[in-house]
């Protein structure tokens, strides 16, 4: 993952095409297994963290989260 400050916001790029592919995660109409649910929750936690960093930087708080 790469995170970079750009102006008053941040740019984040995260790529792992196999881990989040349909072969591993199933399609959009799949009831996730425990493993799939854990991966979804990790991805969501990372996204929430990135969004929180952007909000802190926009507010002028550059302290580590």
Domain residue spans of the chain:
2-58
pLDDT tens digits along 7-64: 777 777 777 777 777 887 788 888 989 988 998 898 889 888 888 877 665 555 555 5
pLDDT at 29: 86
pLDDT at 34: 94
pLDDT at 57: 55
Q: In DSSP terms, which residues pair with 10 in a beta bridge?
A: 5
pLDDT at 61: 52
CB contact set of 65 (below 8 Å; sequence gap of 6+): 49, 52, 53, 56
């Amino acid at each position: 993952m790469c995170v970079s400050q750009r102006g008053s916001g941040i740019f984040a790029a995260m790529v792992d095409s196999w881990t989040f592919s349909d072969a591993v995660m199933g399609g959009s109409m799949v009831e996730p297994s425990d493993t799939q649910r854990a991966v979804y929750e990790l991805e969501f936690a990372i996204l929430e963290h990135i969004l929180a960093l952007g909000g802190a930087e926009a507010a002028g708080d550059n302290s580590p989260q």
